[in-house]
Amino acid sequence: ETKRMVFPRFYFVSDDDLLEILGQSKDPIAVQKHVKKCFEGIKNLKMHAPSAGVRTFEASLMNSPDGETAPFVDNVVIDGPVELWLVQVEKAMRRGISKLLNLSIQGFKGNKKEKWVKDTIGQLLI
């Protein structure tokens, strides 16, 4: 219950899935398959594996089931308890979508509507 209070989206995940997420919290790639159960319209996150000088995974963007991508403003460090980094991912999603919305509004001004619709991700058009 305390994990669900920290990350309320866990209330919408089955107990079996939650146990699997928590059991694999040290392996972000294994948790990746459950992201779509926590966030509607998100298929997965683009993860960057640890490399020289970086000891943790980082997420840089989100992918939709339709193939659209939306980058985060800043990469999210995937480290520590899974519920805490998922909270950070959720905040990064909001900041990223907010930035894309501002860019989309600017792109709408002075452009043809058809071009704007084609250039803008679906989440912003709804």
Token code pair at residue 61: 């963007």
For the cut 90, the answer to whether the pLDDT of residue 118 exceeds it is no
Q: How far apart are CA 27 and CA 4, in angstroms?
A: 19
- Rounded to an integer, the average pLDDT of 15-27 is 91
Write down the mean pLDDT value for the chain.
90
- End-to-end CA separation in angstroms for the chain: 34
pLDDT at 85: 93
pLDDT band at 70 (very low <50, low <70, confident <90, very high): very high
Token code pair at residue 117: 């619709």
